[in-house]
Each structure stands twice: as structure tokens, then as C-alpha cells.
């Protein structure tokens, strides 16, 4: 027996009485409600909407049981519930805030798709109603900012005019003569939704009675998905929530940047320009500091076998990049070898003047055999990171002994 779909005739019915014709344990436990057992119920009539046509299912109560899923199975509608329901008469009640939200989004989709198609020649090829955002995929050339805004404004104009949303029945031919937006090849009587003087579209979903109940439609991002253009939008309470959240974000940004919300773009551009200038300045200063510090360290050199060794371990306020700059500066001095480390991170850098003629790769290898870590480089410049930060001091002393003895 085919269940009567009460929502076809009255999408605003939230409570109904039906006859339970079957209730069986579900073969698979309902997830994500961690492996809880579930039952599958069939009714002679129902106001519960099953997942279909891009619109998610309803939830609610059936007697004492919670309805957690509703799906179409050929001619039947299966209600998944969290406890068994007795055969015979039962009262059903759908979760209205969830359903009404779906009706706002879904009717808004009809309207938005109609505007894209009629005004800009962009047909909708698919629709998704998500828990946060809704999307339609448009086929054709990339919709410009003006087109996105134009479709949004046209849809909102029809919302403000509070036009009736009617349910029409007819054969495919009859609907075609009425100028249906999307032709369907199916026999028998079809159900179509008409937004007065704006759209006619075959659909088995639930819709509001007048466009004013959509409340407001807000178009958001448009991104390319395969060959199509995915347009994000929200309607009704969701539009209110998104607009509120966007403003809060803007407000917070403005507070951070210490400016008015309308000055956020200019203020962030200024802040980024300043940051880049500071960065350049710091780099130049570090370069000069490395030159000066290299000259000062040069005086601490130890002469060993005709080469000059500068060994030093730095504390945490020295960055690894500065260590490399300093090593390069030291390597400019005649026959000098620099053995530097950073105790906070275990970074080690060896560098030499080419005239010193040592193989720093070999020196690093020997050091890492004693104090494990990872690294490498050229015979004149190597860098590594020790596994244990605490070994930096000993590793430098070890390398210094090796190079002085060679």
C-alpha cells in the first residue's frame, strides 16, 4: 500500500494521526547515534518528509518514539525510530523549526534558480540544502559579481511582493504548455510548484505558502566546481544569522585595527604595508648587526694549525636565520672557521672561509655520530639540528676539538 503524503497537500501540518502498519527492528543500527538499536516504521499516511530532491528529511515524534530518519523506499516511506511503536493508531508530530527552515531554503532555491535562468540564462543543474549553507550549481559562463547581485535583488523583490506559492498538478505536456522551467519525462500526473508570475517547476518537496515567508535571500560565494558554478545562499533565519555573524566579524576586525567598520580595508592595507616595510628594515638591521658581531667575535678566535676557529653557543633570543647570517659574515675573514649553535633549538651551523680548506661536511658527520641529529650542506657551509637541544654546548666543544686536532 502506498502511504498518503500529507505534506503534498498541506506543508504546514505539524501533527497528524496515522495507522502503524508495520514496525520491524532495523537491520543496521542507526549511526551516528553510537550503535543504538533502531526500528523501521511504515504508516498509512504521513506528514514526515523523506530525504529527496536536495531537501533533508524531517525529525520529530511518533507516539513516544523519536523519529530520527525518514526515507523513500520505492512506494513506501520508512520512518526510523529509536524505540518500537505498537501497531494501530499513533500520533505523529514533526519538528517544526527544522521543517520550516527547510521550506524557506527550498522555496528560496526555486526563486533564485528562476532568476538566474530567466534574467541571465544560467540553468540550475543541482541543489543541495546543507545544515549551514545551501548551494545551487549553475551551468554556463562564470556569473559576474553584477549577475550574482542582480539575481539576489530580483529574488528579494519577489519576496517583498509576497506572491502566492501554488501547487499545480498536470501531465508533462500540460506543464510544458504552462512554461515549466525544467521539463520532466514522466507519465501520469505531476506535481509542480508555481511562484506566481515568476516560476513553475516540477517538485515533490515542501514549500512556504507565500514568498514573504522566505523572509530574505542572501547570496554568498560563487566557486567553480568541475564545469559548473556553485553559488552559496541562505534564506530566512539563516540569512539573519549570517548577516549578524558577518557584522560581528567586521566589528571585531575594526576593533583590532582601531578604525570604523567601513575603513577596515584601507586600515588593513596600511597595516600590511607597514609590516612589509618593518620586515625589510629588520632584515637590513640584522645584516648590519651580523657584520658588527662577526667583527667582535673575530677577536675571540683560537689559532689552531694555521686556521682561526670561532666557536659560540647562543641562547634562545637568537633566531636560526641570524645564526646563518653571522656564520656567513665570519666566513668572510681569512682562514676562519665558525662553529655556532643555538641552545634553545639544537640548531648547529658550521661555516668557513674557503681558504681554511677543511671539509665541514665530514666534520658535521663526525659530530652527528656523537650527538645525533639531521643536517648537511657543502664543504664550506653546513647546518643541522640535534635531536637533543641540551647537546648544543657539548657538540660545539667536540667539533672545536676535532678541527683543532686535525
* Binding footprint of Zn ion on the chain (CB under 5 A): 203, 205
> DSSP code of 56?
P
> How far is residue 153's CA from residue 34's CA, in Å, rounded to a whole number?
44
Closest to Zn ion by CB, 143 vs 205, is 205
**Residue 282: is it exposed, middle or buried by C-beta count within 10 angstroms (0-12/13-18/19+)?**
exposed
Report the C-alpha gap between 331 and 82 in whole angstroms: 75
CB of 207 to Zn ion, least distance (A): 6
* Minimum separation from the CB atom of position 144 to Zn ion (A): 27
Closer residue to Zn ion (CB): 203 or 208: 203
236-257 vs 96-120: helix axis angle to the nearest 10? 80
Q: With respect to Zn ion, which residue has the nearer C-beta, 172 or 203?
A: 203
Could you give the count of Cα atoms lying within 13 Å of 22 in the half-sphere of its Cβ?
12
Q: How far is the CB of 166 from Zn ion (least distance, A)?
A: 12
Rounded to a whole number of angstroms, the minimum distance from the CB of residue 127 to Zn ion is: 9
164: exposed, middle or buried (Cβ count in 10 Å: 0-12, 13-18, 19+) = exposed
- The sign of the dihedral angle between the CA atoms of 393, 395, 400, 401 is positive
DSSP conformation letters of 82-128: SS---SEEEEEEE-HHHHHHHHHHHHHHHHHHHHHHHHH---EEEEE
Nearer to Zn ion, 9 or 317 (CB): 9
Residue 42: CB minimum distance to Zn ion, A: 25
Which residue, 60 or 205, is less far from Zn ion as judged by CB? 205
Nearer to Zn ion, 20 or 203 (CB): 203
**Which residues, listed in sequence order, are joined to residue 228 by a DSSP beta bridge?**
225
CB of 109 to Zn ion, least distance (A): 7
Amino acid at each position: 500500500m502506498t502511504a498518503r503524503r500529507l505534506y503534498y497537500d498541506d506543508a504546514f501540518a505539524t501533527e497528524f494521526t496515522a495507522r502503524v502498519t508495520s514496525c520491524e527492528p532495523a537491520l543496521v543500527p542507526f549511526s551516528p547515534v553510537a550503535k543504538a538499536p533502531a526500528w523501521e516504521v511504515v504508516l498509512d499516511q504521513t506528514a514526515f518528509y523523506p530525504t529527496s530532491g536536495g531537501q533533508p528529511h524531517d525529525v520529530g515524534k511518533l507516539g513516544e518514539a523519536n523519529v530520527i530518519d525518514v526515507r523513500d523506499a520505492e512506494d513506501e516511506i520508512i520512518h526510523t525510530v529509536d524505540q518500537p511503536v505498537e501497531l494501530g493508531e499513533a500520533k505523529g508530530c514533526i519538528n517544526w523549526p527544522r521543517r520550516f527552515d527547510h521550506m524557506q531554503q527550498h522555496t528560496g532555491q526555486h526563486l533564485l534558480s528562476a532568476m538566474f535562468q530567466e534574467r541571465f540564462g544560467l540553468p540550475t543543474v543541482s541543489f543541495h540544502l546543507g545544515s549551514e549553507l545551501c548551494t545551487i550549481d549553475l551551468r554556463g559562463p562564470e556569473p559576474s559579481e553584477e549577475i550574482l547581485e542582480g539575481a539576489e535583488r530580483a529574488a528579494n523583490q519577489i519576496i517583498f511582493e509576497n506572491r502566492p506559492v501554488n501547487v499545480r498538478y498536470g501531465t508533462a505536456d500540460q506543464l510544458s504548455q504552462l512554461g515549466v522551467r525544467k521539463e520532466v519525462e514522466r507519465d501520469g500526473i505531476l506535481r509542480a510548484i508555481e511562484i506566481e508570475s515568476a516560476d513553475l517547476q516540477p517538485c515533490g518537496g515542501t514549500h512556504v505558502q507565500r514568498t514573504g515567508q522566505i523572509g530574505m535571500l542572501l547570496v554568498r560565494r560563487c566557486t567553480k566546481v568541475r564545469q559548473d558554478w556553485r553559488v552559496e545562499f541562505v534564506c530566512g533565519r539563516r540569512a539573519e544569522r549570517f548577516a549578524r555573524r558577518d557584522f560581528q566579524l567586521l566589528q571585531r576586525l575594526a576593533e583590532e585595527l582601531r578604525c570604523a567598520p567601513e575603513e577596515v580595508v584601507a586600515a588593513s592595507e596600511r597595516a600590511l604595508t607597514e609590516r612589509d616595510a618593518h620586515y625589510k628594515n629588520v632584515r637590513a638591521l640584522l645584516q648590519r648587526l651580523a657584520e658588527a658581531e662577526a667583527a667582535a667575535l673575530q677577536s675571540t678566535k683560537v689559532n689552531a694549525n694555521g686556521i682561526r676557529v670561532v666557536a659560540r653557543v647562543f641562547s634562545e633570543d637568537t633566531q636560526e636565520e641570524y645564526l646563518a647570517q653571522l656564520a656567513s659574515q665570519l666566513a668572510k675573514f681569512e682562514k676562519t672557521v665558525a662553529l655556532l649553535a643555538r641552545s634553545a633549538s639544537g640548531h648547529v651551523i658550521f661555516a668557513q672561509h674557503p681558504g681554511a680548506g677543511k671539509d665541514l661536511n665530514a666534520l658535521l658527520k663526525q659530530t652527528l655520530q656523537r650527538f645525533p641529529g639531521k643536517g648537511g650542506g657543502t664543504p664550506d657551509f653546513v647546518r643541522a639540528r640535534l635531536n637533543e637541544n641540551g647537546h648544543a654546548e657539548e657538540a660545539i666543544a667536540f667539533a672545536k676539538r676535532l678541527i683543532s686536532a686535525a
